[in-house]
A and B are shown apart, each in its own frame.
Chain A
Amino acid sequence: DAKTTQPNSMESNEEEPVHLPCNHSTISGTDYIHWYRQLPSQGPEYVIHGLTSNVNNRMASLAIAEDRKSSTLILHRATLRDAAVYYCIPSPTGNQFYFGTGTSLTVIP
């Protein structure tokens, strides 16, 4: 399983964009990059996933480096509801998810 490095914590002002980085230098060619988030006292929530090219959905965008050794989750306008722990998970399938400790995002009103 690929090792990941994420900042322990980040802060953002409300309504500003947030860029959450993840390094996964040992990623294999078959690993997708998944992002989940966990709001306080809740189960995790799927955010986005991708393989090589950048991906967008209604929640966020995922920018994947050309060498795939890093990726960035982009929240275009942070809201208070986006305060959560964000997990970056390289994995070939969901059957092999290894959640690390993630990045705790604080959104400042």
Chain B
Amino acid sequence: NAGVTQTPKFRILKIGQSMTLQCTQDMNHNYMYWYRQDPGMGLKLIYYSVGAGITDKGEVPNGYNVSRSTTEDFPLRLELAAPSQTSVYFCASGLRSAEQYFGPGTRLTVT
């Protein structure tokens, strides 16, 4: 199993641009999550999904959108990128919500 894969690994965006961060898991997990981690801080939950077709907001959803059309994929969309969205983004999945498996992260810089 590849586990949780995220693309791209790094990205630089200009203010106002849009992009989609990809997340795929091959473990047939129902639960999937998007977090962001600012330098020196803990992770903050952006959105999560408990199954295909079901998504819900986390602690910091503003400026982001998600969709979950399949069990495997949970893309995160940034519209109108802002410098405040400079962060490392982690995707996670789990068979149970308590035990989450994290991807390697996407480092995003908005300038």
Query: How many B residues have CB within 8 A of the partner chain?
Result: 28
Question: 13 extra interchain contacts, Cβ-Cβ under 8 A, other than A98-B44, A98-B45?
Answer: A43-B4, A43-B92, A43-B102, A43-B103, A44-B43, A44-B90, A45-B102, A49-B99, A94-B97, A94-B99, A95-B31, A95-B56, A99-B42
CA distance A45 to B98 in the complex (A): 12
Within 8 A of B (CB), among A79-109: 87, 93-102
A102 to B43, CA, bound (A): 10
| A101-B92 CB under 8 A given contacts A42-B104, A95-B97 | no
Separation of A94 and B95 alpha carbons in the complex (Å): 11
* A45 and chain B: residue at smallest CB distance: B102
Shortest beta-carbon distance, B68 to chain A, in Å? Answer: 14
User: Could you tell me which B residues sit within 8 Å of A by CB distance?
Assistant: 4, 31, 33, 35, 40-45, 48, 50, 56, 58-59, 90, 92, 94, 96-105
Residue numbers in A under 8 Å from B33 (CB-CB): 94-95
Name 26 A/B residue pairs within 8 A (Cβ), A-sorted: A36-B100, A43-B4, A43-B103, A43-B104, A44-B43, A44-B90, A44-B102, A45-B102, A46-B98, A46-B99, A46-B101, A49-B98, A87-B42, A94-B31, A94-B33, A94-B94, A94-B97, A95-B31, A95-B33, A95-B56, A95-B97, A97-B45, A99-B35, A99-B43, A101-B41, A102-B42
